[in-house]
Amino acid sequence: ADGAPWWTSAVVYQIYPRSFADSDGDGIGDLPGIVGRLDHLARLGVDVIWLSPVYRSPQADNGYDISDYQDIDPVFGTLDDFDRLLEAVHARGMRLVMDLVVNHTSDEHPWFVESRSSRDNPKRDWYWWRDPRPGHRAGEPGAEPTNWESFFSGPTWTLDETTGQYYLHLFGTKQPDLNWENPEVREAVYSMMRWWLDRGVDGFRMDVINLISKDVALPDATATDPATGRGDGFAHYAHGPRLHEFLQEMRREVFDGRPGMLTVGEMPGVGTEEALLVTAPARRELDMVFQFEHVGLDHGASKFDPQDLAPGALADSLSRWQETVGGEGWNSLYLSNHDQPRAVSRFGNDGAYWRESATALATMLHLLRGTPYIYQGEELGMTNGAFETLEDFRDVESLNFFAQSASTGLTAEAVLDGMRRNGRDNARTPVQWEASPGAGFTQGASWIDVNPNHTWLNAEAQYDDPRSVFSYYRRLVALRHEREVVAVGDYSRVDTGNPAVFGFRRTLGEQTLLVLVNLSDAPADDAVSAGQDGAELILANYEDGAAGAVLRPWEARVFVTP
């Protein structure tokens, strides 16, 4: 659209390299593996690849713990492999966006190794070091400088014996938080970012970027869990007083004079007001953010205590973000990524209505206002993993939670059930390319089990099938390229009289797109009458198109006028 940024009509595809394609048979995906599968992305028609971290890393959190920002981890390849990938991506007219993990580093990063070496090391202040709580002996339970619970269970502080002080880590013990208050830290990060842009990358997805500014007083959480004595410190370590200042500074220092870039900030717990501030173009912060409201709807006491969603809850949440952020600001649209269970298993019905619900959810997501993200395998309708025992899981978040749950009174079976439903490993089983053992992902032994359903659910089986989930995703991606109304049309909700049926309109000038999606297993009467007068059906996910006024289970129809 005239004057609209390029990414309004773009679709982004996320690659989690560990699980995408393994070229050397070590059971772990790698960069040459990605190059070998780029035709898949070209066929799908996506515009941008977001590559999850491939930097040098001890892999304590699968690369979200970086020990060298300017090198590639040997499990993924070399810098030369990276340059070849970038060239191949550009040759196909796509862009490549790197993952930027700068709230924390690995404890094996030279910056941290120096910082921990002595209290007066010049890099001491690059991280958050604090004395034990007054009146407590270093190392005893409760001596941590704050009572915060970390994202990966346990305290957010670990004692370093060398200097008798604690360091802050909002995630795992091997992921110490950088101190963004120190201008040297910020300059080091910006110069590393410029180095990648100079190499040719097209922007960054910024990991937990809303956590870089903290309340420097580091206040305790007020509510605590009696079982652990710890609580949620989010109010003190997220959206701190200098967040917007840091983002604006980064924009000036890194992105000024470089058009065509993409910046997307991952912001767990962000609300609509803050998201609008970050994405309103005039404020010059980020292009868009990942918000978490809709992926928290089914969380109970924790994410491992999943609850069933009320009908309409998903649509209500997404609709509210459309109305509050999507006009002046901009939304990222996603249902899955490497941290979330598979969308079709979580929000759809991966049994009786597998194909219908995968395509219904996709219709909803891709026709909202914002930039859609496809997570690898979602375009095939990949489902949650088949994890039987504890030994089948790999993720540090799940394993730490399981270890801690023994002391919090939950039964092992209940926790395992939660991990099966909501654990991050669900998203991390290998991409299913073929029916063969190893699913075309690897010739070796995969680092995490391939889903047994790859025998029928795989890319090869879907490419030439016009009814496949893959073919449907192709049409959705193409629609955004072909129709301006999809890219930049205004959003308004349509009341369908049935909470399970999500209806919305997109309008641009005289043109209107009407989207009706039944997000349930039950047929919905009369849901269609709203849209039929004079409108042309341009997309539907049941073979016989628009038959009658009843929307069948997980049926989606898209009309355009005039």
Which residue in the set 171, 196, 330, 334 belongs to the binding site for ligand ISL (CB under 6 A)? 171
Q: At what angle do helices 412-422 and 396-405 cross, to 10 degrees?
A: 160
Q: Single out the residue of 131, 258, 148, 144 nearest to residue 201, CA to CA.
A: 258
Complex with ligand ISL: residue 190 or 292, whichever CB lies closer:
292
Complex with ligand ISL: residue 47 or 61, whichever CB lies closer:
61
Q: Rounded to the nearest whole angstrom, what is the least distance from the CB of residue 152 to ligand ISL in the complex?
A: 7
Q: Catalytic pick from 160, 266, 285, 395?
A: 266
Environment class of 491 (CB within 10 Å of its CB; exposed 0-12, middle 13-18, buried 19+): buried
DSSP per residue over 477-488, as a string? Answer: HHHHHH-HHHHH
Residue 101 touching ligand ISL (CB under 6 A): yes
Complex with ligand ISL: residue 52 or 468, whichever CB lies closer:
52
Q: Rounded to the nearest whole angstrom, what is the least distance from the CB of residue 208 to ligand ISL in the complex?
A: 5
Residue 237 touching ligand ISL (CB under 6 A): no
Distance CA 54, CA 69 (A): 9
Q: Rounded to the nearest whole angstrom, what is the least distance from the CB of residue 13 to ligand ISL in the complex?
A: 16
Q: Catalytic pick from 61, 73, 81, 207?
A: 207
Helix (H) or strand (E) holding 416: helix 412-422
Q: Rounded to the nearest whole angstrom, what is the least distance from the CB of residue 329 to ligand ISL in the complex?
A: 20
Site for ligand ISL in 18-77 (CB under 6 A): 61, 64
Phi, psi of 222, rounded to the nearest 5 degrees = -85, -45
List of residues 6+ apart from 426 with CB closer than 8 A: 340, 341, 342, 345, 384, 385, 420
Which residue in the set 339, 378, 425, 555 belongs to the binding site for ligand ISL (CB under 6 A)? 339
Complex with ligand ISL: residue 22 or 266, whichever CB lies closer:
266
Which residue in the set 151, 167, 373, 470 belongs to the binding site for ligand ISL (CB under 6 A)? 151
Complex with ligand ISL: residue 293 or 521, whichever CB lies closer:
293
Complex with ligand ISL: residue 196 or 491, whichever CB lies closer:
196
Complex with ligand ISL: residue 101 or 254, whichever CB lies closer:
101
Q: Side chain identity at 6, as an amino acid letter?
A: W
Phi, psi of 339, rounded to the nearest 5 degrees = -105, -5
CA–CA distance from 55 to each of 68, 78, 82, 209, 473 (Å)? Answer: 6, 10, 10, 18, 30
Q: Rounded to the nearest whole angstrom, what is the least distance from the CB of residue 266 to ligand ISL in the complex?
A: 6
Q: Rounded to the nearest whole angstrom, what is the least distance from the CB of residue 557 to ligand ISL in the complex?
A: 33
Residue 266 known to be catalytic:
yes
Quote the DSSP letter at residue 53. Answer: P
Tell me, residue by residue from 532 to 561, as one string, x for binding to ligand ISL by CB under 6 A and - for no binding: ------------------------------
Environment class of 223 (CB within 10 Å of its CB; exposed 0-12, middle 13-18, buried 19+): exposed
List of residues 6+ apart from 416 with CB closer than 8 A: 387, 389, 390, 402
Q: Rounded to the nearest whole angstrom, what is the least distance from the CB of residue 461 to ligand ISL in the complex?
A: 30
List of residues 6+ apart from 258 with CB closer than 8 A: 197
Q: Rounded to the nearest whole angstrom, what is the least distance from the CB of residue 534 to ligand ISL in the complex?
A: 45
DSSP per residue over 434-462, as a string? Answer: -SSTTTTT-SS--SSPPPGGGGTSSHHHH
Q: What is the dihedral of CA 374, 39, 5, 494, to 10 degrees?
A: -40
Q: Rounded to the nearest whole angstrom, what is the least distance from the CB of residue 62 to ligand ISL in the complex?
A: 7
Phi, psi of 157, rounded to the nearest 5 degrees = -130, 140
Token pair, residue 246, equals 């840091």
Complex with ligand ISL: residue 73 or 266, whichever CB lies closer:
266
Complex with ligand ISL: residue 148 or 502, whichever CB lies closer:
148
Which residue in the set 48, 100, 208, 315 belongs to the binding site for ligand ISL (CB under 6 A)? 208
The answer to whether 285 and 229 are in contact (CB under 8 A) is no
Complex with ligand ISL: residue 29 or 438, whichever CB lies closer:
29
Complex with ligand ISL: residue 101 or 168, whichever CB lies closer:
101
Neighbouring C-beta atoms of residue 48, cutoff 10 Å: 24
Grouping H, G, I as helix, E, B as strand and the rest as coil, residue 280 is coil
Residue 102 touching ligand ISL (CB under 6 A): no
Q: Rounded to the nearest whole angstrom, what is the least distance from the CB of residue 122 to ligand ISL in the complex?
A: 26
Q: Can you say whether the dihedral through the CA atoms of 339, 57, 107, 183 is positive or negative? A: negative
Cross-strand partners of 501 = 518
Token pair, residue 91, equals 């040759």
The answer to whether 438 and 450 are in contact (CB under 8 A) is yes
Tell me, residue by residue from 251 to 270, as one string, x for binding to ligand ISL by CB under 6 A and - for no binding: ---------------x-x--
Which residue in the set 30, 81, 207, 425 belongs to the binding site for ligand ISL (CB under 6 A)? 207
Residue 323 known to be catalytic:
no
Token pair, residue 288, equals 């868009």
Token pair, residue 13, equals 């595809």
Which residue in the set 56, 95, 355, 424 belongs to the binding site for ligand ISL (CB under 6 A)? 424
Site for ligand ISL in 271-330 (CB under 6 A): 303
Q: Rounded to the nearest whole angstrom, what is the least distance from the CB of residue 389 to ligand ISL in the complex?
A: 22
Q: Single out the residue of 72, 28, 80 nearest to residue 54, CA to CA.
A: 72
Q: Give how many residues touch ligand ISL by CB under 6 A.
A: 13
Residues near ligand ISL (CB under 6 A) are 61, 64, 101, 151, 171, 207-208, 266, 268, 303, 338-339, 424
* Residues recognised as catalytic: 207, 266
